[in-house]
Structure 1
């Protein structure tokens, strides 16, 4: 995954440096949200001046980190092929992929600026993909034909949020939580009412 696109393409070594800084920033800021640029530089294995050359301020670094996480979030959903994979498969895969992003990029996902155009664009596209997937799931009989798809999507998002709060740290934990989220969405948590 490449760092956020800028006005011109970065050289490969510059891209690696930016990626190392962003990865270190996520790790350091997750442990200590008040961490300094110097602490981030040390964790990235680069000079403080390198961090300052790439990011004019701590705020600029956090914005870049949030934009990068938003792009990873988008890529996680897109990789599930929500428009072409069987709906049940796409729903499970999107859930697992998003949980992996949320688990690995918790600070950045929480720092997403709502006023940043690139973040808004990414979220609008993810929303559109999710809406189409839920229509396909309803059409395939996974959701009732009269389901309120907006409500179902909101419940799904809430389930993912709660699952991510459990901080899954292994692939097996992510897979188990993804299965639980999808099962809860499609089948609920209680016994069906008897007629």
Structure 2
């Protein structure tokens, strides 16, 4: 983690920034209009400390979006998308993504305007996802003529529905990410039609 000037932060300053970002996620998820003062209170720091680290509310939200995107990228990497068997990597990455998206719902939500840094990270995640789907396609798990960009979009939609598509739009955060990942991958690869053979 680095500050807005690009210089590495001291360990105590980095802990402070992480505490502020974690508090910002909690506070803004509950109340998207919350103030910097409310974030400071939730983080257990002074308002001055928050303003020292983030020039304004927009800078805080952009840093929050970048941090959440970085966590999402780490979750994908933890699935070993380049070395694990494609189905194993797809399941593990999906379960990891569900965990991160569940914990960073505000920062990864549609209401947050992505910073350039977060947008670059999300573009790289999408590229890595298509690569993993390509590995699965190469092993015959996905049809040879499937449009992998379309498959990626369907995959993302299934993840979104798993997290936010409960009855009447209620979220289902208590469901086990591994169970949800199995359902998502199974639906992505097999659809909902009857199994033949």
Whether the TM-score (by the shorter chain) exceeds 0.5 is: yes
Shift of 1:117: 2.4
Query: Which residue does 1:128 correspond to in 2?
Result: 127
Does 2:154 align with 1:151? no
SS at match of 1:107: coil
Determine which of 177, 180, 184 is the counterpart of 1:181: 184
Does 2:116 align with 1:113? no
Shift of 1:57: 0.8
The TM-score, its normalising length taken from structure 1, stands at 0.90
Give the Cα separation in 1 of the matches to 2:98 and 2:24: 20
Query: Which residue does 1:191 correspond to in 2?
Result: 194
The TM-score, its normalising length taken from structure 2, stands at 0.89
Query: Which residue does 2:22 correspond to in 1?
Result: 23
Quote the RMSD (CA, aligned, Å).
Answer: 2.0
Shift of 1:193: 7.4
Give the Cα separation in 2 of the matches to 1:72 and 1:31: 21
Give the Cα separation in 2 of the matches to 1:4 and 1:193: 56
- Number of aligned positions between the proteins: 191
Does 2:58 align with 1:59? yes
Give the Cα separation in 1 of the matches to 2:141 and 2:5: 41
Shift of 1:90: 0.6
Give the Cα separation in 2 of the matches to 1:77 and 1:4: 25
SS at match of 2:108: helix
Structure 2 portions without partners, runs of 5+? none
Shift of 1:67: 0.9
Whether the aligned pair in 1 keeps the contact of 2:3 and 2:53 (CA below 8 Å) is no
Shift of 1:59: 1.1
Shift of 1:168: 4.7
The CA deviation string for residues 63-95 of structure 1, in whole angstroms up to 9 with x for no partner, is: 110111111111111221111111001100111
Query: Which residue does 1:70 correspond to in 2?
Result: 69
